[in-house]
A and B are shown apart, each in its own frame.
Chain A
Amino acid sequence: MMARSITAEPELTTAAPRRPAVRPKRRRNSTWVGIVGWLLGIVFFFPVLWMVITSFKTEAQAYTNTPQFVFTPTLEQYKTVFASGIWPYLANSAFATIVSTFFVLLLATPCAFALSLRPVKKTRDVLFFFISTKMLPIVAAIIPIYIAARNLHMLDNIFTLVILYTAMNLPIAVWMMRSFFLEVPGELLEAAEMDGAPLRRTVTEVILPVVAPGLAATALICCIFSWNEFFFAVNLTATQAATVPVFLVGFISSEGLYFAQLCAAATVATLPVILAGWVAQRQLVRGLSFGAIK
């Protein structure tokens, strides 16, 4: 048919044949992916589950040679943990985590904004400088840090940890936030400028609401890293400023290896992070599916 009728074209495209032959194979593949995914998930989750289960056992039950799944749960271990003075440690951890995360976001947001939306010639170098600070293992830096903290009379001081955690998380936060800022369409900034918004209003009214999920994701990562940090805490604190990871280790040495008790303490230590992740879950998912805003 040489004479082409333009109006007939859409019909031709909708009548394109489907290929049902491909489908069952794809479904079988996705079943396998599902099975492997679940297996991996269980492998990763099982130790956590075992920890929680053990924390409700008595010490004797925790040590039975064929592990027991059916037992009468007891809160005895938790009572011991809370009675042994975990509260100051929890408070220290919470303070160091929240305050350092606040400062990280406060510093990383304008930094990432500049590096992504107002790049200059050396932007790449600056970015690599940030990430290069993470290349030196902390062990290699601990002696100078210790001496500096001692000379400043800041050993066993919670603000030392706040400063270190802020410094530790800043590069990661800048990189994360930058990737979120890069997703902001440039036209939004131009539209705000045309609408007469000064920079401060553009950031607070236009950009921050758009990158809020990314901000939440970054905050969560910073919280997790700070909460779990052990090396600085164990080396630079003693009694006043020690955090939960230090408490956990102390628990082992002072009481001997009481397995059920340790599991209860570890569960308590894990809980805030799980809660934070659960609260931020919705924002996280939005943060990960960021391209959808357009």
Chain B
Amino acid sequence: MAEVTYDSATCIYPGADRPAVDALQLPIKDGEFVVMVGPSGCGKTTALRMLAGLEEIDDGSIRIDGKDMVGVPSRDRDIAMVFQNYALYPSKTVGENMGFSLKMHGVPKDERARRVRDAAKVLDLEPLLDRKPRNLSGGQRQRVAMGRAIVREPKVFCMDEPLSNLDAQLRVQTRTQIAELQRRLKVTTVYVTHDQVEAMTMGERVAVMRAGQLQQFDSPTELYDHPANVFVAGFIGSPAMNRFDGALEDGSIKVSGAALHPPEGQLRAAKGHGKLTVGIRPEHLSIGGDGELTLEVALVEDLGSDSYIYGRLAGDADSHVIVRATRDHPRPGEVVKVKVDTAHLHLFDGATGLRVGE
């Protein structure tokens, strides 16, 4: 168990024109489950590998319990890692795979066997201990990789997209298992994923990254309710937040000809910003007779419990609108009025993309 601090940690790959991870500032509390999320190439995996000691820290530092890790080899950091494709030793049995690190650290044989058995019990791997990895299913391999990490009782877990090779159903199931296991073991965990649903459901706090830079580091609800910029607003939430070009005019926000009236505080904050990006989540739009916006319905996704309506604003062919509706929804081709819940409007500066107001 340990505190992990990224202090302006920077990694530049040889020959690259910009850092893969750029002055990352990330204080992670003892026992916390932190998820790094972002699109491919955003530097999240590099940041994780820097912590694990598999990538150089070119500038700044990473500290574990206050101890600077620059120049410390992986094996001396007391970190366990779960790899994307598990990296199980193919010639070793499940039990040997799990016990390998203990063996390398000189743990006596009987204690090793006991700890492997304990970890196997936790992960339901007991019947598989004598099998080779090639005789396991994808889900079982994933559990062995987890077992190899937990058997060591390390200071920090690093997990690099450990669920990406599982099918959708198993992924959801394993997701909750990992989160539950982490809460029980209380080991500081850094988890990397590109899947924002995984990030939102698993992380106590989520670090959203883009192009090597940290965009926002907050709890899932904070990310959802108060995204720091347009990128986070669009990345977190599924389906994505609707974003429109707008401007402050005559005490209201004008979007595609319609006037929206957000709370007073937000209007005050919007003053002085020329162009605005107006964000509104699909669940804060509703189909209704007296709505402010006019929507041409293009496609309806019926999910059973509710449905998503995709379309364009009338008079703005480039706009994309997603509205969450009940099962009782309009048909494609219809033109309907959409009501905006202005209490949940998000405003961003049109030029910088940064959040305006609360």
* B-binding residues in A (CB < 8 A): 2-7, 185, 187-188, 190-198, 201, 205-206, 209-210, 212, 293-294
Contact = CB atoms under 8 A, between A and B. Distances in A.
Given A2-B332, A3-B331, A201-B104, A193 B301 contact: no
Contacts of B83: 187, 190-191
16 contacts: A2-B332, A2-B333, A190-B83, A191-B87, A192-B89, A193-B75, A194-B101, A195-B75, A195-B152, A196-B104, A197-B75, A197-B100, A197-B101, A197-B104, A205-B89, A206-B89
B74 A185 contact: no
A11 to B, nearest CB: 15
Given A194-B79, A195-B104, A2 B74 contact: no
Contacts of A185: 85, 87
A4 B81 contact: no
Interface of B: 52-54, 73-75, 79-81, 83-85, 87-92, 100-101, 104-105, 134, 148, 152, 299-304, 331-333
Most chain A CB within 10 A, of B52, B104, B299, is at B104
Contacts of B73: 193
A294 B85 contact: yes
A293 B134 contact: yes
B302 A191 contact: no
Contact of A4 (B74, B301, B304): B301
Given A187-B83, A190-B54, A191-B83, A210 B299 contact: no
Q: Sorted from nearest, which 3 A-B pairs have the closest CB atoms? A: A209-B91, A187-B87, A195-B101
Contact of A187 (B85, B91, B101, B134): B85
B302 A5 contact: yes
Contact of A196 (B75, B90, B300): B75
A193 B91 contact: no
Given A2-B331, A3-B332, A187-B85, 8 more contacts: A2-B332, A4-B301, A6-B301, A190-B52, A190-B74, A191-B87, A195-B75, A294-B85
A191 B53 CA distance: 11
B300 A3 contact: yes
A190 B87 CA distance: 9
Contacts of B101: 194-197
A185 B85 CA distance: 10
Contacts of A205: 89, 92, 100
A190 B158 CA distance: 13
A4 B299 contact: yes
A194 B105 CA distance: 11
A193 B74 contact: yes
Contact of B89 (A7, A188, A194): A188
B300 A2 contact: yes
A152 B74 CA distance: 50
Contacts of B80: 194
Most chain A CB within 10 A, of B73, B91, B105, B152, is at B91
A3 B81 CA distance: 44
Contacts of A206: 89, 91
Nearest to A188: B87
Given A185-B85, A188-B87, A209-B91, A6 B303 contact: yes
Contacts of B331: 2-3
B282 to A, nearest CB: 16
A203 to B, nearest CB: 13
Contact of A195 (B54, B85, B91, B100): B100
A195 B301 CA distance: 47
Nearest to B80: A194
Given A3-B300, A194-B75, A194-B81, A293 B90 contact: yes
Contacts of A6: 301-303
A5 B300 CA distance: 9
A210 B91 contact: yes
A4 B79 CA distance: 46
A3 B85 CA distance: 37
A3 B327 CA distance: 12
Contacts of A3: 299-302, 331-332
A194 B149 CA distance: 10
Contacts of A191: 81, 83, 87-89, 148
B304 A7 contact: yes
